[in-house]
Amino acid sequence: MLIKIPAASRSHESDVTPESLYLSRRAFMAVSGALAAGLALPVTAAEISRYEGVDPAKAPQWFTEKLPSAQWQAITAGDEATTPYRDATHYNNFYEFGTDKGDPASNAGALQTEPWQVVVDGEVGKPGTYSLEDLMKPHGLEERIYRLRCVEGWSMVIPWLGFPLAELLKQVEPSAQARYVRFETRVAPEQMPGVRSGFTLVNWPYVEGLRLDEAAHPLAFLAVGMYGRVLPNQNGAPLRLVLPWKYGFKSIKSIVRISLTRERPKTTWEGIAPDEYGFYANVNPQVDHPRWSQAKERRLPGSLFRPNVIPTRLFNGYDEVASLYGGMDLKANY
Ligand SMILES: Nc1nc2c(c(=O)[nH]1)N[C@H]1C(S)=C(S)[C@@H](COP(=O)(O)O)O[C@H]1N2
Ligand SMILES: [Mo]
């Protein structure tokens, strides 16, 4: 994102998958019920894998077991249309797998997501190396349909499946000294062509961070799935952050380490271009990127004749986070 404003979306009207591909709730319940009962998949699921190349059976067991009791549409985006699955999984930023929007879909399949471990350390009462399965044990799944606004000027609406970050923080017991949370993405050069290529702008691992009160905000979310299924690798499997009021680069993918710290962590994009990408990165139409305006966004999918440009909203429309930034100069703290 440092280098250029991306060319127009590669999405074309012809790529837009029929609405049926994001399963209706009722169809979905039928699928998950059948999975739970070990029955043959109904037609809807077969259609999904045919159109999208996704095999729903690839989900780990813990995910399949939690799915039937997921709380659907716990948060919605009102009447805003959900981005088709095809676009959300083929127009991605995940530099570990390459810098073109299609690279993650082409290359992230190589990432081995099972088994997966997450180190929790720093200012916590319960540090340790957790298997993802153990980490997930206390948490039910809920669906949250969030807007995602990339700093590059495009946006999507994605139905995530996961649980609040606040629940995980409670689980690991931050100490009284903890003031920030630092997140790290996996580095596996043999599975990540973007890391291998020596793309030198990024000093791997990809690192992100939050103030502890931001991390504890009820909207901050850890996702393990989307569109009623397990997360595809290109979207940050098996565990990624989703912070709907911040620019997309804060929503770090494929997390292997979560550290509670006293000092503000140095984040990847701040390290590369501190005048362009700040620590806070709250969506704000009045604070332009030094090289482009942030007043508007292209809601994907668009087309040459229907670019779908809409106004950008402060905090991406999530006004409930405003109290986190009371008295702060949002221009100085971009
Ligand atoms: N590890 C890692 N996390 C990352 C990125 C990345 O390059 N590496 N890109 C970020 C950016 S710029 C965006 S916009 C979102 C995109 O998420 P999506 O591909 O699931 O839509 O992921 C974010 N998380
Ligand atoms: Mo982004």
Q: Are strands 255-261 and 309-311 parallel, antiparallel or unpaired?
A: unpaired
Question: Could you give the number of structural domains in the chain?
Answer: 1
Least confident of 38-52, 105-119, 188-202: 38-52
DSSP letters spanning 107-151 = HGGG---SS-EEEEEESBSS-EEEEHHHHHTT---EEEEEEEE-T
pLDDT of residue 239: 98
Q: Give the C-alpha separation, 310 to 287, whole Å.
A: 17
For the chain, what is the mean pLDDT? 88
Domain that holds residue 222: 13-325
Residue 103 located in a structural domain: yes
Residue 108 located in a structural domain: yes
Q: Are 262 and 123 a contacting pair, CB within 8 Å?
A: yes
Q: Ligand 1 pocket check: which of 249, 254, 268 to mutate, most ligand atoms within 8 Å of Cβ?
A: 249
Distance (angstroms) between ligand 2 centre and the Cα of 152 equals 6
Distance (angstroms) between ligand 2 centre and the Cα of 202 equals 14
Task: Match 């340790």 to its residue by tokens.
Answer: 128
Helix runs in the chain, H state only: 25-37, 43-52, 61-66, 85-88, 103-107, 132-136, 165-172, 193-196, 212-215, 268-272
% pLDDT > 90, the chain: 81
Residue 331 located in a structural domain: no
Q: Are 107 and 197 a contacting pair, CB within 8 Å?
A: no
pLDDT mean over 109-123:
97
pLDDT of residue 75: 98
Give the CATH number, domain containing residue 174. 3.90.420.10
3-state SS class at 307: coil
Residue 56 located in a structural domain: yes
User: Is-above-0.85 flag for pTM?
Assistant: yes
Q: Are 261 and 179 a contacting pair, CB within 8 Å?
A: yes
Of all protein residues, whose CA lies closest to atom 8 belonging to ligand 1? 94
List Cβ neighbours of 190 (8 Å cut-off, separation of 6 or more).
196
pLDDT of residue 58: 81
Residue 8 located in a structural domain: no
Distance (angstroms) between ligand 2 centre and the Cα of 153 equals 8
Distance (angstroms) between ligand 2 centre and the Cα of 155 equals 9
**Would the CA dihedral through 248, 74, 257, 114 be positive or negative?**
negative
Question: Is the CB–ligand 1 distance for residue 206 below 6 Å?
Answer: yes
Residue 314 located in a structural domain: yes
pLDDT in tens, 53-103: 555 548 999 999 999 999 999 999 999 999 999 999 999 999 999 999 999
Task: Work out which ligand 1 atom sits closest to the CA atom of 1.
Answer: 12
Residue 258 located in a structural domain: yes
Question: Is the CB–ligand 1 distance for residue 248 below 6 Å?
Answer: yes
Residue 333 located in a structural domain: no
